[in-house]
Amino acid sequence: MTKISIIGAGSAFTQEIAMDILLIDGLEGGTIALVDIDAERLEIARKLVVRIIGLTGKKWEVLASTDRREVMAGSQFVINQIEVGGLQTVRYEYEIPLKYGVNQCIGDTLGPGGLFKTLRTLPSWMEIVRDIEDLCPDTTILNYTNPMSAVTLLTSRITSIPVVGLCHSIQNTSNQLAKYAGVPYEELQWRAGGINHMSWFTELTHQGQDLYPLLKEKIKSPDLLRKDPVRFDAMKYLGAFVSESSGHFSEYIPYYRKRQSLIDLHCSSGYNGATGYYADNWPLWRKENDEKILQQLEGTLPLELESSNEYAAIIIEAMLKNEPKVIYGNVPNQGLIPNLPLDGVVEVACMVDRNGINPCHFGSLPEHLAALCRSNMAFFDLAVGAVLGNDKEMARHALMVDPLSAAVCSLAEIGEMFEELYAAEHDFIQVLK
């Protein structure tokens, strides 16, 4: 019988992922185990999944507990979506760096925000992995928690259990590119590879025609350029479109957020790069999502049975039914992209079947694109090493190689910023020596 555990079930991902799983054709029953340390949000998630099961008419059992060891034994799949101390720290991670000139839009992957989210998240996740090894060692781990690369990298270094990091940026970006180019999505062809939030569409064609000359011509129109300002500007100079939104991507490279004139020119509203967008809105989004689910449970909002474009259920279906599917996953490199660190984590196409997740060899990236990925991978390597080695100096060095912090601050200023953040978040992170 199929058993799937969702850790951090209070997350906004649960509705889409549970819906996708329950809509798998031919998978009529099993057990979904929900875990969250917030009992109130766990109960909302439990009621939601029970309601979806009722709408599908299938025969699934739902277990829910604030103690993961009570419910996760024997799981074939463990889906990670935990958030550690985010509500209490989101203002620190935006406002303290801003004092030093480090202007973040999202701040959950790289930069000061990404570093301290890593320091908050990984110790808790390590404890969960040890329980997975004890209770369901034959499982496959599907990770949705950001910082995606850091969480997946750490997992690959502490356990032999298969892990894949999952995102929706390739799905979403390929859809956007089809619309930007004015071609049917079903006819778009591409090759994409790199790291999470910085995968590069190195080939983009329609019926054998390279679409990049067309896109470069089309962005001469200010209207199109405004729709994705950072990514289109980077495409113009770097020659390839990147997989993550303009706002996220602007933080991972040193070119767009290092002075106000550039922010005004390239980083507009919302996910296109607005200053403090995540810090200002994430607590509100979380509250609104909970309220929406409660309204769906009460029947005042419809709960539609619709599949999403997330990869978790695609993997589960492919493995259980041995029906090969292709997803884009974050996996240990091991030569998949030879000019990126072999012991790092990369994002590539993967074929999934009963044998599990089988990454596809991508080959070398153009060197200038690889260099931008390597700058981020060095940050992740240091941040993960800091947690594994309980090494405060290594964590400080991670911030010193962060592209945005380095573009704005001196080494002394980065050190001061690190210490101020460390003091502010002392209660939320593992004490480093």
Active site residues: 168
Strand stretches in 185-242, DSSP E = 188-195, 198-206, 209-210, 241-242
Among the listed residues 46, 122, 109, the one whose alpha carbon sits nearest the alpha carbon of residue 82: 122
Compute the distance between CA of residue 229 and CA of residue 252 in angstroms, rounded to an integer: 15
- In terms of DSSP bridges, do strands 241-242 and 198-206 run parallel, antiparallel, or are they unpaired? antiparallel
Q: Identify which of 54, 15, 56 has the alpha carbon closest to the alpha carbon of residue 34.
A: 15
Pair 161, 154: CB distance under 8 Å: no
Say how far apart CA 87 and CA 402 lie, in whole Å: 24
- Total Cβ atoms within 10 A of residue 110: 32
- What angle is formed at CA 50 by the lines to CA 121 and CA 139, rounded to 5 degrees? 45
Strands (E), 51-185: 59-65, 77-80, 140-143, 163-165
Q: How many CA atoms lie within 13 A of 274 on its CB side?
A: 9
Q: 268 and 229 in contact (C-beta within 8 Å)? A: yes
CA nearest neighbour of 296 among 49, 17, 34: 49
**How many Å from the N-terminal Cα to the C-terminal Cα in the chain?**
46
Say if residues 419 and 186 touch (Cβ distance below 8 Å): no
DSSP 8-state code for residue 393: H
Residues 287 and 41: beta-carbon distance below 8 Å: no
Give me the sign of the Cα torsion angle 22, 25, 28, 32.
negative
Whether residue 224 contacts residue 180, with contact meaning beta carbons closer than 8 Å, is answered with: yes
For β-strands 77-80 and 209-210, DSSP reports them as unpaired
User: Are the beta carbons of 49 and 63 closer than 8 angstroms?
Assistant: no
Q: Within a 10 A sphere around the Cβ of 325, how many other Cβ atoms?
A: 15
Query: How large is the angle between the packed helices 148-158 and 367-388, nearest 10 degrees?
Result: 60
